[in-house]
Amino acid sequence: MIIRLLSAALAAGFLAAVVVTGLELTLTSPLIVAAERYETHETHQAQRGLPIVLAHAGHDHATPDAAPEWQPGEGLPRMAFTALATLVGAVGYALLLGAAILACGREPTRQVGLAFAIAGFASVALAPGLGLPPELPGSEAAPLVTRQAWWVMTAAATGMGLYLIAIRRSLIAILGGLVLLIAPHVAGAPQAPEATSELPAALAAQFAARSLAISFVFWVLIGLGFGWAWQAFARGPARGTAHA
């Protein structure tokens, strides 16, 4: 069972990573590079003493005297690290998806994998994105720790809410699921501090929309790929025994 789970997750993760890496390099990486130009310009202004507050969704900016963070070089190194990060994330999410399907007592098929993948997209990307949309470098954002805490809370509450509504299906479970779906957004996502940024709003909106669309494709491929691979890696002796 574990070997089959790992094999299916590796196959689904590799399939999703190949397609999504191409989409990222084509659709979102150029926007990140463009945003980094604004971020670099603002950093130079801050080092000259202008009162500009910088924050980014993925990291906190260092002071002018701090050592710069390591980043892969432009071109092929950056593409390689993007592909590697996407592959690792895809395999990890495929493992979680497969474990969730089995824990719920479902037989992994392409249809079941797709249904659970849509729930995974809603939990990990869509619901958190309603309060904390994907952000470009140079975007204003709340402190990283508070954003991470809200993201984890929202993803967990959404996943549990969908489980209660779709799997348990009793009246109390459905009501509880609806409360869990709504609660993180009633509490509200951490708000970014008020500060000026040269990053165009249209660029940020375009990045958020493309990121969510790519995430949807990512999850769909993981779900379909896992369901297909699980059936493809079914053990021959087990099938023979069933017919005996």
Task: Give CA–CA dist 36/19, Å, rounded.
Answer: 25
Would residue 243 count as lying in a domain? no
Q: At what angle do helices 2-23 and 201-232 cross, to 10 degrees?
A: 150
Would residue 241 count as lying in a domain? no
Of 211, 160, 233, 213, the C-alpha closest to 12 is: 233
Give me the number of domains the chain comprises: 1
Domain that holds residue 185: 2-236
- Per DSSP, the chain holds a count of helices (H) and strands (E) of 9, 0
Six-digit token string for 25: 């390099």
Six-digit token string for 238: 């087990």
Would residue 242 count as lying in a domain? no
Query: How long is the chain?
Result: 244
Would residue 244 count as lying in a domain? no
What are the DSSP calls for 176-214, one per residue? HHHHHHHHHHHH-PPPPPP----S-HHHHHHHHHHHHHH
Task: Give CA–CA dist 78/209, Å, rounded.
Answer: 22
What's the confidence (pLDDT) of residue 239? 44
Beta-carbon contacts of residue 242 (< 8 Å; ≥ 6 apart): none
What's the confidence (pLDDT) of residue 235? 59
What's the confidence (pLDDT) of residue 50? 37
Beta-carbon contacts of residue 115 (< 8 Å; ≥ 6 apart): 223
Would residue 213 count as lying in a domain? yes
Would residue 154 count as lying in a domain? yes
Tens of pLDDT along the chain (244 residues) come to 889 999 999 999 999 999 999 999 999 999 998 888 876 655 444 444 433 333 333 334 444 444 455 566 666 888 889 899 999 999 999 999 999 999 999 999 999 999 999 999 999 999 999 999 998 887 778 888 999 999 999 999 999 999 999 999 999 999 999 999 999 999 999 987 776 567 788 898 999 999 999 999 999 999 999 999 999 988 554 444 444 3
Write the single-letter amino acid at 128: P
Would residue 37 count as lying in a domain? yes
